[in-house]
């Protein structure tokens, strides 16, 4: 990805002086996937994001690349088959951001899934998703289930289903996809908001007017096609275009809680029933257990979803219901996050019943909108959108483009020999980290997180040894990498999205936040005013993650 933030001005110059094949609005996983697909087909594409990349829903999911087993109950066979197969593709192209995770589905008397139906359901799932032999489902007896996870409620337990899903870091996945797009010639810029559309004489959209939210400048970007990939905001953009007609979005909010393993020592990922007939995940990760999600209709601004006391208590209740021996109280919630799902409205359905499928809408002005969908299906969604864009571009300009090639294209950091080669790659590259002065443990950590980009971080760490009292070389290498290669512009970009520390290591954030702010302020030469604004923004994010928002109580 482009080095050095000063490139922002250079990039803006290019944006103003050129007509692109496509502008993608929205730097979540959907937009990033489209930018990558388009760039690799030879299109000149620019992606603009009004916040940080992934700051919308794409950093707020359950962080699973999964087929959506529960959608089988709603007979969404096509979606389960397609998304299920995509899990493998996402994994193979980026094993450093996606890891197989055996999931346990405990089966209780009167629960959502019976033993027989689970056996059949998981078999259908394996078949539809084309699951490889070593990862096919196993049915477990009651004792086997309890030996996998002794904390599960014993009362009424009949056994369990054991099957594979994939754990990811949604925000890093998005950024790695985007970096690969940029490596292939795409231009991407964050903190740049589309405020208006520009139209030609016959009312066809031919560009966007954007505002640089850091410098305050406004400028146009022209393109032959415009794609609205703004997730929860797609209707806002359609309203600006005057094309919010027919189908619309229905937002629902989902919250996750993070609890320390010393309080909730879960050793096995669990997908379990709640007392109100929903299903919730509990997943061990980095010394913590995270649990979620809720699913409630949401009508506020999608930019500020946060946990309410009701959300928190619902999840605590669900933990109590399935893990009665675990004593977790509100005070044990270390951190949390909330996101809004951009679902397509289906009248009369409960939030959890609304389909997660995606659709493409094209307005009279030829604005292309991609709505709905899941993180897992991003690549396939991108392929469909870019196929349409390619045909529109051919009609309009006569240009032709290559076919989609993302199915076997490693994302940034993914050049590690696929899932099979990843462990060998780690063993080999760790030597470089050790030679750069890192401990084996630190070198391994970097290799696992950054895959084939690890050597860049090792070099940054080497340059950082002995340079900073409060920030270790490893932390400093991650900060510098985020700023120099991943367009991180604020402390929140780094501590929340590029490193995930704010969610899974909040104590560390409290310890280093001032040093990080100082370091960034120097690097970017911030004014006192900007530094204060960004410090307040970080504090607000910490508050949001740790303290429930009382105001939400009334609205839920």
The binding site for ligand FAD (CB under 6 A) comprises 25-31, 48-51, 55-58, 60-64, 66, 193-194, 229-233, 237, 254, 293, 339-342, 373-376
Cβ proximity to ligand FAD, 31 vs 94, nearer residue: 31
CB of 33 to ligand FAD, least distance (A): 8
CB of 317 to ligand FAD, least distance (A): 18
CB of 342 to ligand FAD, least distance (A): 6
Cβ proximity to ligand FAD, 66 vs 108, nearer residue: 66
DSSP for 457-514, please give it. Answer: HHHHHHHHTTT-SSS-HHHHHHHHHHHHHS---SHHIIIIIIS-HHHH-HHHHHHHHH
CB of 336 to ligand FAD, least distance (A): 11
Handedness of CA 318, 284, 59, 505 (dihedral sign): positive
CB of 427 to ligand FAD, least distance (A): 30
Cβ proximity to ligand FAD, 101 vs 444, nearer residue: 101
Query: Six-digit token pair at 456?
Result: 């860049």
Cβ proximity to ligand FAD, 164 vs 474, nearer residue: 164
Cβ proximity to ligand FAD, 56 vs 500, nearer residue: 56
CA 355 – CA 473 distance, rounded (Å): 46
Whether 462 and 451 have beta carbons less than 8 Å apart is answered as no
CA atoms within 13 A on the CB side of 90: 36
Cβ proximity to ligand FAD, 56 vs 451, nearer residue: 56
CB of 431 to ligand FAD, least distance (A): 35
Residue 421 belongs to what H/E stretch?
helix 418-435
CB of 405 to ligand FAD, least distance (A): 21
Cβ proximity to ligand FAD, 379 vs 513, nearer residue: 379
Q: How far from 44 is each of 182, 188, 530, CA to CA, in Å? A: 11, 11, 33
CA 465 – CA 406 distance, rounded (Å): 38
- CA–centroid distance for 214 within its chain: 24
Three-class SS of 71-108: HHHHCCHHHHHHHHHHHHHHHHHCCCCEEEEEEEEEEE
CB of 461 to ligand FAD, least distance (A): 30
* Angle at CA of residue 74, ends 124 and 90, nearest 5°: 60
Cβ proximity to ligand FAD, 232 vs 500, nearer residue: 232
Burial 265-295 (b: 16+ CB within 10 A, else e): ebebbbbbbbeeebbbbbbbbeebbbbbbbb
């Amino acid at each position: 990805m482009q080095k050095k933030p000063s490139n922002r001005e250079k990039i803006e110059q290019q944006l103003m002086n050129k007509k692109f094949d496509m502008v993608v609005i929205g730097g979540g996983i959907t937009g990033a996937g489209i930018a990558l697909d388009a760039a690799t087909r030879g299109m000149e594409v620019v992606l603009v994001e009004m916040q940080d990349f992934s700051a919308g829903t794409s950093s707020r999911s359950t962080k699973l690349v999964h087929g959506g087993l529960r959608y089988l109950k709603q007979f969404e066979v096509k979606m389960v088959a397609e998304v299920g197969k995509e899990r493998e593709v996402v994994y193979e192209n980026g094993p450093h951001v996606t890891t197989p995770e055996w999931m346990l589905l405990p089966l209780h008397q009167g629960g959502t899934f019976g033993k027989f139906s689970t056996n059949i359901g998981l078999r259908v799932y394996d078949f539809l998703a084309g699951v490889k032999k070593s990862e096919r489902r196993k049915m477990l007896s009651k004792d086997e289930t309890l030996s996998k996870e002794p904390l599960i409620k014993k009362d009424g337990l009949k056994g369990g289903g054991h099957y594979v899903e994939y754990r990811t870091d949604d925000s890093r996945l998005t950024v790695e996809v985007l970096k690969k797009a940029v490596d292939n010639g795409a231009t991407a810029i964050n903190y740049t908001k589309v405020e208006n559309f520009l139209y030609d004489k016959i009312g066809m959209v031919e560009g966007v007017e954007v505002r640089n939210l850091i410098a305050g400048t406004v400028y146009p970007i022209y393109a032959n096609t415009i794609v609205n990939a703004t997730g929860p905001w797609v209707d806002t953009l359609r309203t600006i275009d005057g094309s919010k007609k027919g189908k619309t979005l229905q937002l629902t909010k989902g919250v996750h809680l993070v609890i320390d393993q010393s309080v909730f020592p879960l050793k096995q990922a669990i997908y379990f029933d709640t007392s109100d007939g929903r299903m919730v995940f509990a997943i061990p990760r980095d010394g913590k257990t995270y649990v979620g999600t809720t699913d409630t209709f949401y009508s506020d601004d999608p930019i500020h979803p946060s946990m309410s006391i009701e959300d928190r208590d619902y999840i605590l209740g669900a933990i109590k219901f399935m893990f009665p021996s675990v004593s977790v109280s509100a005070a044990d919630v270390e951190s949390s996050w909330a996101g809004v799902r951009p679902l397509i409205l289906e009248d009369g359905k409960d939030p959890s019943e609304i389909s997660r499928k995606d659709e493409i809408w094209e307005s009279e002005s030829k604005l292309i909108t991609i709505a709905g969908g899941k993180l897992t299906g991003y690549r396939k969604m991108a392929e469909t959108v870019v196929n349409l864009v390619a045909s529109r571009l051919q009609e309009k300009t006569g240009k032709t483009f290559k076919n989609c090639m993302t199915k076997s294209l490693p994302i940034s950091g993914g050049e590690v020999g696929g899932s099979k080669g990843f462990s060998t790659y780690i063993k080999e590259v760790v030597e470089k980290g050790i030679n750069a002065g890192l401990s084996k443990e630190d070198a391994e950590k970097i290799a696992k997180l950054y895959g084939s980009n690890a050597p860049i971080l090792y070099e940054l760490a080497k340059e950082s040894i002995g340079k900073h009292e409060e920030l270790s070389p490893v932390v400093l290498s991650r900060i510098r990498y985020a700023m120099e290669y991943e367009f991180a512009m604020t402390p929140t970009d780094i501590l929340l999205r590029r490193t995930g520390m704010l969610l899974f290591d909040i104590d560390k954030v409290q310890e280093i936040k001032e040093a990080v702010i100082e370091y960034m302020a120097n690097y970017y030469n911030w004014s006192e005013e900007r530094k204060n604004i960004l410090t307040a923004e970080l504090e607000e994010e910490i508050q949001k993650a740790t303290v429930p928002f009382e105001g939400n109580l009334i609205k839920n």
